């Protein structure tokens, strides 16, 4: 028997639009725990509200902010440097030249208007755990009772000698606000033709199906526009990852066999952007254009705070940092085996927001015995502008065992999943920012 201790995406009338069972959680809290809840509130009366600082207004951070705002037990400060949110999910269409950037951009106004929430437009430079403060790039310091970190990933540039010196010429486009540079590069490729080298690193990295998706969306345009060029796709893996997606993605790649030269088990070793050559485990390769996806790790901020080496180490199911009980790390920056996906990050954020509220009310107790389901993952690999493969992941935590991941993957692309991907994205964007 599985206990959905954490909010799950409940299929509504459209099974691809997540509905967050917030009302159910709140009602349960008030019914079952009203005495404790009232006592908790009483203990807060007359005191300044506890301070919760949330770092990163992306998928995970917004989940935490929304849950905390609904609970109203803390003053919440969201620290995010960008003036708007830009989605990585669904960006493949825009990057390939067939979608609009506006679809991916959303304002923070509604989040800023939530009760008890303020947004500081700044970047966190350091976390001083002993003082329980974060230091912002504008010199301001914010004190916290609880800190939620969801600053996403950075690229391991040192893994590819020659990359750092040519960073501007080789945009990766796996973080918000990098998509425009990749789109410009892809448009140059359409105009000039030649060889576009693309790559996928070994996992874990953000959204494993995304490099294949991007290649297929560009390949579709090569055919439609009659571009005199081809893609050489270098996969550091033996097949697309995670394993349950390999056959459907390899099957979809066959439709583009004339324009995508898919090469498994090839690792990047060095790049010379001046000579436009790549050293790889399969020898040297010349390119005209390149979109290389590098290995990733948690932002330096998280690692410099002593929360983990490559990824933050967290307790499950709480996502509390192993090194510090006041800090929670969610989304792609944490190192649990959960997939690095936006849907998972948003669910983790909501769960952590609710857990912090429980703790502030003095309600937190031992985790329920038996299996626990962690937030679900819903991912899409578009194989053309109209079709996609749907990937769902359920993570179960059994006492004393490593988390188990159960995948459900479309065996082949369909227009139904292609349309459902957009319904899903619009539904989550609304839940995050609407």
Ligand X SMILES: Cc1cc2nc3c(=O)[nH]c(=O)nc-3n(C[C@H](O)[C@H](O)[C@H](O)COP(=O)(O)OP(=O)(O)OC[C@H]3O[C@@H](n4cnc5c(N)ncnc54)[C@H](O)[C@@H]3O)c2cc1C
Q: Which of 372, 355, 345 shows the shortest CA–CA distance to 428?
A: 345
Contact with ligand X (CB under 6 A) among 342, 347, 418, 427: 342
Q: Residue 111: left if φ>0, alpha if ψ -120 to 50, beta else—which one? A: alpha
Residue appearing with tokens 């993957």: 409
For the sheet with 2-3, list strands across it.
Answer: 2-3, 371-382, 388-397, 404-409
- 359's CB contacts (< 8 A; 6+ apart) are 146
Residue appearing with tokens 């310091």: 141
Q: Residue 124 interacts with ligand X (CB under 6 A)?
A: yes
Within 72-163, residue ranges assigned H as helices are 91-95, 109-112
CB 81 to ligand X: min, Å: 6
CB of 176 or CB of 222, closer to ligand X: 176
- Site for ligand X, residues 180 to 239, rule: CB under 6 A: 206-207, 210
Residue appearing with tokens 């066959």: 254
425 forms beta bridges with none
Q: Convert residues 352-391 into a mask of x (bound to ligand X by CB under 6 A) and - (unbound).
A: --------------------------xxx-----------
Q: Residue 393 interacts with ligand X (CB under 6 A)?
A: no
Q: Residue 7 interacts with ligand X (CB under 6 A)?
A: no
Q: What is the C-alpha separation between 215 and 218, in angstroms, rounded?
A: 5
Q: Which stretch binds ligand X (CB under 6 A): 41-49, 81-89, 192-200, 352-360?
A: 81-89
Q: Which stretch binds ligand X (CB under 6 A): 25-33, 54-62, 103-111, 190-198?
A: 54-62
CB 254 to ligand X: min, Å: 22
- Helix, strand and coil in the chain, % to nearest 5: 35, 30, 40
Q: What is the C-alpha separation between 261 and 30, in angstroms, rounded?
A: 58
Q: Residue 308 interacts with ligand X (CB under 6 A)?
A: no
Q: Residue 319 interacts with ligand X (CB under 6 A)?
A: no
- The angle formed by the CA atoms of residues 201, 250 and 163, to the nearest 5 degrees, is 20
Name the maximum alpha-carbon separation found in the chain. 71
- The angle formed by the CA atoms of residues 306, 120 and 55, to the nearest 5 degrees, is 30
Contact with ligand X (CB under 6 A) among 71, 332, 355, 410: 332
Contact with ligand X (CB under 6 A) among 4, 21, 50, 81: 81
Q: Residue 55 interacts with ligand X (CB under 6 A)?
A: yes
Q: Residue 82 interacts with ligand X (CB under 6 A)?
A: yes
Q: Residue 61 interacts with ligand X (CB under 6 A)?
A: yes
CB of 89 or CB of 162, closer to ligand X: 89
Q: Residue 60 interacts with ligand X (CB under 6 A)?
A: yes
Binding site for ligand X (CB under 6 A): 55-61, 79-82, 88-89, 91-92, 123-124, 150-152, 174-176, 206-207, 210, 299, 301, 331-333, 340-343, 345, 378-380
């Amino acid at each position: 028997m599985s206990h959905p201790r954490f909010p799950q995406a409940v299929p509504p009338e459209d099974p691809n639009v997540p509905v967050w069972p917030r009302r159910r959680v709140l009602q349960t809290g008030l019914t079952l725990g009203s005495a404790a809840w009232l006592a908790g509130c009483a203990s807060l009366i007359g005191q300044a509200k506890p301070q919760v600082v949330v770092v990163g207004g992306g998928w995970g951070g917004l989940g935490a902010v929304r849950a905390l705002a609904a609970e109203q037990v803390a003053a919440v400060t969201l620290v995010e440097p960008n003036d708007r949110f830009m989605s990585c999910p669904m960006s493949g269409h825009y990057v390939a030249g067939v979608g609009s950037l506006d679809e991916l951009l959303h304002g923070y106004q509604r989040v800023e208007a939530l009760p008890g929430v303020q947004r500081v437009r700044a970047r966190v430079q350091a976390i001083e755990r002993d003082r329980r403060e974060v230091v912002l790039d504008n010199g301001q310091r914010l004190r916290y009772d609880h800190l939620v970190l969801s600053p996403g990933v950075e690229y391991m540039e040192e893994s590819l000698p020659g990359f750092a010196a040519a960073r501007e010429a080789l945009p990766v486009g796996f973080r918000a606000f990098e998509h425009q540079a990749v789109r410009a590069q892809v448009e140059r490729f359409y105009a000039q033709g030649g060889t576009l080298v693309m790559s996928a690193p070994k996992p874990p990295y953000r959204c494993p199906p995304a490099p294949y998706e991007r290649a297929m969306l560009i390949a579709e345009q090569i055919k439609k526009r009659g571009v005199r060029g081809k893609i050489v796709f270098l996969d550091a893996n033996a097949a697309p990852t995670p394993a349950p997606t390999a056959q459907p993605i390899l099957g979809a790649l066959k439709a583009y066999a004339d324009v995508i030269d898919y090469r498994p088990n090839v690792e990047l070793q060095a790049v010379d952007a001046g000579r436009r050559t790549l050293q790889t485990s399969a020898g040297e390769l010349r390119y005209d254009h390149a979109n290389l996806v590098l290995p990733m790790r948690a932002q330096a901020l998280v690692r410099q705070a002593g929360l983990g080496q490559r990824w933050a180490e967290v307790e499950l199911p709480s996502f509390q940092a192993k090194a510090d009980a006041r800090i929670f790390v969610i989304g792609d920056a944490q190192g649990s085996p959960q997939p690095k996906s936006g849907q998972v990050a948003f669910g983790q954020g909501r769960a952590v927001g609710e857990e912090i509220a429980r703790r502030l009310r003095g309600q937190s107790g031992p985790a329920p015995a038996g299996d626990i389901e962690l937030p679900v993952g819903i991912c899409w690999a578009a194989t053309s502008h109209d079709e996609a493969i749907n990937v769902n992941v359920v993570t179960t935590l059994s006492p004393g065992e490593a988390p188990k991941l159960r995948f459900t993957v479309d065996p082949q692309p369909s227009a139904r999943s292609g349309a459902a991907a957009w319904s899903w994205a619009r539904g989550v964007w609304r839940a995050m920012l609407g």
